[in-house]
Amino acid sequence: MTNNKVKIKTEKLDVFYGQKQALKNVNLEIFNREVTALIGPSGCGKSTYIRCINRMNDVIETCKISGSIKIDGQEINNKQIDVVRLRERIGMVFQKPNPFPKSIYDNVAYGPQIHGLADHKDKLDQIVQTSLKKSALWEEVKDRLDEPGTSLSGGQQQRLCIARAISVNPEVILMDEPCSALDPIATAKIEELMEELKKTFTIVIVTHSMAQAVRVSQRTGFFHLGNLIEVDTTDKMFKNPNNKMTQDYITGRFG
Amino acid sequence: MNLAILLLIVLFSTSCFFFGRKKIINITAANKIRMNALPDYYGYYLALWCAIPAVLILAFWTVFEPTIIKAFIINNITSSNLKEFNSDELNLIYQQIKALYLGNFTGTLTEEIRRGAENYKSFLSIAEGSKIVILISIVIVTTLYSYKKLINNNKAREDVEKIFKAVLFTCSLVAILTTIGIIFSLLFESIKFFTTINIFDFLFGTSWSPQRAFVRDASTITPEEYNELKDAFGSVPLFAGTAFIAFIAMIVAVPIGLFSGIYLAEYASKKVRKYSKPIIEILAGIPTVVYGFFAALTVGPFFREFGERFGLEVSSESALAAGLVMGVMIIPYVSSLSDDVINAVPQSLRDGSYAVGATKSETIKKVVIPAALPGIVGSVLLAVSRAIGETMIVVMAAGLAARLTINPLESTTTITTQIVMILIGDQEFDSPKTQSAFALGLTLFFATLILNYIALRFVKKYREKYE
């Protein structure tokens, strides 16, 4: 691999939603500037896992998290950590495109504005432009930045959400099944984009599509019923997995 | 009597339901066949056939019976008397006959009234008897007819569905027709008023004092009299007063209602929400008369004493007191509706905002409120039309003097209050004073209609956003 530095490291991670245990003792390392895919059947805990990394589970009242989550060696699973700064460093793209009911420009400018990243209009314009260019949307929307974000097509909306996520210049982008609501052409565009993004960002993607995991990721982790069954390079996982269960899942025998 | 008949019909048709159902169950069991519809449908079929025609006839009978009997009685009087009566006299005689029959007659008893009362009595018993006979035969005929059709009917389900649809249609028709009827009665009385008073003088005149208007005959008004008269019916002070009090009410209700709605939707824990939302909605259930007491006996005097301490002249019936209390009354509407529209903003939008590192208040301010804004505006407009239409609080707390003022410490009045003032007590229904109430009502109706229309448009636009 190009860069073998560990970016995110979780140890003995347990997550409870009320009485239900969603993650059981998950130990996982995610490496800098590559794409890590998390696969597994529905309800296996892969989305829960990535929502721990940017503390989005805080929103859910009944959720309890124990264990260690370290980013660049710094523990983030404690009360002292400032979630606002944390989420600035760790962006997220959701399953369903969720642009704000604002203009395309304001959608992207939202993050920089609340974090005070631009002290004047030109700087903000520039951030919006670079973010839209990085998310490969600029050419399609540069003449209609004032139109509402919701007027774009599904695939464009999702790329707008990616632009929104990268506008605050994060280190990590979490993607929760970003293509599940998109058609194959829009999906291909997002995958192409990820290829480009991984040069600057660390990407963790949850996906239901094995083919997508093979296409975009360098490492793959397989979750089942809250357990991390196996994690390895994508190549090894799909050609020669160690675990029988992984073998069964990727060949479509269950899940 | 009618109630007893109705009860009998209901009882009989209920037993028809069970009879028809049982019958079909027996047939299916005996012949080992499966009928086209469930046995219940055959039961309904029989029961509805038995009940609906009879109930309809009973209703028509009850409505038209007095008219027909009256016609008979009056016919009797005119044909047996040589004397000519005009219609007013005939009406009076009829009323006296009825009074004698009911045993609360006062006045001089004449021969024709006594005879009329006897006639009335016999007509009533004939009507009663024939009603019962006709109803019983109708029930028997329709029940037999539907029972005959029942056994070979493979369309019982469709027929029952059709009948249900017809019943529902009738109900909605009644609602719509009544509304249209109300509008037309307003319209016709208003037109009468506007033939006396020019509509522009009414809408733009700045002086309101209908007590001054004594008009015997509207067709003989001289131009001088009209000039005098139009000053009695200028509605601007009323509209200004209404708008002013509604404005004070909104100043109270919108911030408090909106912020409590935001608190309930975004910050309150499930438990707090569970208890506080019903409590706030109870406020909406308090009769406005009670708010009126509160405004007139507590808030009004409080302001006056408070003002006196600072040497201010405060009327004990002030626009401020009425507006404040009305605002309190409207808070639940605003808070409950805005709570609902804020809740309707998809969680995914909040997640998107949190995910770029926004705090809760930033998310609410910059994402949730803008997304919910059309709905919030809609709820505020609905509250405004509620404030404009509110009567009781203003009657009790804001006074009756129609004066054009923007001093909230003075007394002022509203459209609804004046309508009440005009219509209570003994009235002649063809004087411009009385008719002006209808004109006010019509104008108010259009004002709230327009507001409601705008509100609904906003709400609709909001709905389209996420679907």
What pLDDT, on a 0 to 100 scale, did the predictor assign at position A249?
A: 92
By C-alpha distance, the chain B residue nearest A164 is: B356
**Candidates 3.40.50.1970, 1.10.3720.10, 2.160.10.10, 1.20.1250.20; correct CATH number of B236-466?**
1.10.3720.10
What pLDDT, on a 0 to 100 scale, did the predictor assign at position B83?
A: 67
Question: Which residues of chain B are at the A interface, by a Cβ-Cβ cutoff of 8 Å?
Answer: 269-270, 346, 348-359, 362, 366-367, 370-371, 465
Is A133 contained in some domain?
Answer: no
Distance in angstroms (rounded) separating the CA atoms of residues B377 and B375: 5
Using a pLDDT cut of 70, give the percent of chain A over it: 98
Residue ranges making up the domain that contains A205: 6-98+173-250
Task: Name the β-bridge partners of B176.
Answer: none
What pLDDT, on a 0 to 100 scale, did the predictor assign at position A161?
A: 95
Look up residue A97 and give its DSSP letter: -
Helix (H, G, I), strand (E, B) or coil at B326: helix
What pLDDT, on a 0 to 100 scale, did the predictor assign at position B209?
A: 83
Is the Cβ of A47 closer than 8 Å to some Cβ of chain B? Answer: no
Is A150 contained in some domain?
Answer: no
Q: Which of B346, B355, B465 is the closest to A56 by Cβ? A: B355
What pLDDT, on a 0 to 100 scale, did the predictor assign at position A1?
A: 45
Please give, rounded to a whole number of angstroms, the shortest distance from the CA of A250 to a CA of chain B: 30
What pLDDT, on a 0 to 100 scale, did the predictor assign at position A112?
A: 95
Nearest to A85 by CA among B349, B359, B351, B362: B359
Specify whether the CB–CB gap between B211 and B400 falls below 8 A.
no
Nearest to A137 by CA among A151, A123, A152: A152
Specify whether the CB–CB gap between A172 and A90 falls below 8 A.
yes
What's the average pLDDT block by block, 10 residues per block, for chain B (467 residues)?
A: 86 90 86 81 87 90 87 79 73 82 78 80 87 90 86 77 91 95 92 87 86 64 76 86 92 94 91 88 86 89 87 81 91 91 91 93 92 86 87 83 79 86 76 86 90 80 56
Is A163 contained in some domain?
Answer: no
Residues 6+ apart with CB under 8 A from B311: none
Task: Name the β-bridge partners of A39.
Answer: A222
Position A90 confidence tier, pLDDT thresholds 50, 70, 90 = very high
Q: Could you tell me the two tokens for B123?
A: 């007509």
Q: Do A101 and B348 touch (CB under 8 A)?
A: no
Residues of chain A positioned with their CB less than 8 A from the CB of B359? 84, 114
CATH 1.10.3720.10 maps onto chain B at 236-466
By C-alpha distance, the chain B residue nearest A96 is: B348
Q: Do A161 and B352 touch (CB under 8 A)?
A: yes
Is the Cβ of A82 closer than 8 Å to some Cβ of chain B? Answer: no
Specify whether the CB–CB gap between B296 and B317 falls below 8 A.
yes
By C-alpha distance, the chain A residue nearest B362 is: A114
Identify the CATH number of the domain in which residue A197 sits: 3.40.50.300
Is A132 contained in some domain?
Answer: no
Is the Cβ of A216 closer than 8 Å to some Cβ of chain B? Answer: no
When scoring B266, B270, B356, B367 by the number of chain A Cβ atoms within 10 A, the one with the most, hence best to mutate, is: B356
- What is the residue whose two structure tokens read 């169950």? B25
Q: Do A100 and B353 touch (CB under 8 A)?
A: yes
Q: How many CB atoms lie within 10 A of CB B361?
A: 11
Look up residue A77 and give its DSSP letter: S
The ipTM is 0.91
Residues 6+ apart with CB under 8 A from B177: none
Specify whether the CB–CB gap between A131 and A166 falls below 8 A.
yes
Nearest to B147 by CA among B6, B50, B53: B50
In tens, the pLDDT along A109-125 reads 999 999 999 889 999 99
Q: pTM for the complete prediction? A: 0.76
Both ends of chain A: CA-CA distance in Å?
A: 30
Distance in angstroms (rounded) separating the CA atoms of residues B155 and B163: 12
Average pLDDT value for chain A: 92
Q: How many independent structural domains does chain A possess?
A: 1
Helix (H, G, I), strand (E, B) or coil at B368: helix
Residues of chain B positioned with their CB less than 8 A from the CB of A88? 356-357
Question: Using alpha carbons only, how large is chain A's radius of gyration in Å?
Answer: 18
Please give, rounded to a whole number of angstroms, the shortest distance from the CA of A91 to a CA of chain B: 6
By C-alpha distance, the chain A residue nearest B372 is: A101
Q: Do B356 and A167 touch (CB under 8 A)?
A: yes
